């Protein structure tokens, strides 16, 4: 969250700062582009809010809670060992 918050906020405000002056510009071009500019500015701000909220929620959801227990504990542990072997041996990080 610390790495994502500043860039997402900065991009949203910069894009809004570009499109909001277009919405308040005068003349016939201002009338033509007003709806477009306000739509883009609002969608950028809502998208940034969604990106910040979803990153925080995903961080809470994907956090490991506790060791698996019950009937699926053994298959889950075998899958995790196999997946770890595949990512370490067959498809190492340097090959990506």
pTM higher than the cut 0.75: no
At residue 22, the pLDDT reads: 85
At residue 43, the pLDDT reads: 92
The predicted model gives 20-24 an average pLDDT of 85
Decide: helix, strand or coil at residue 55.
Answer: helix
At residue 95, the pLDDT reads: 53
Interatomic CA distance for residues 67 and 9, integer angstroms: 36
Q: Give the pLDDT confidence of 26-83 residue by residue, as tens digits.
A: 888 888 888 888 899 899 989 998 888 887 777 767 776 677 677 778 887 888 888 8
């Amino acid at each position: 969250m610390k790495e994502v918050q500043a860039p997402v906020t900065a991009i949203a405000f910069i894009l809004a700062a570009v499109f909001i002056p277009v919405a308040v510009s005068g003349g016939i071009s201002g009338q033509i582009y007003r709806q477009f500019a306000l739509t883009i500015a609002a969608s950028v701000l809502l998208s940034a809010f969604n990106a910040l909220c979803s990153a925080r929620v995903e961080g809470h959801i994907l956090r490991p809670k506790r060791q698996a227990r019950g009937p699926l504990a053994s298959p889950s542990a075998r899958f995790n060992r196999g997946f770890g072997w595949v990512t370490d041996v067959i498809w190492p990080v340097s090959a990506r």
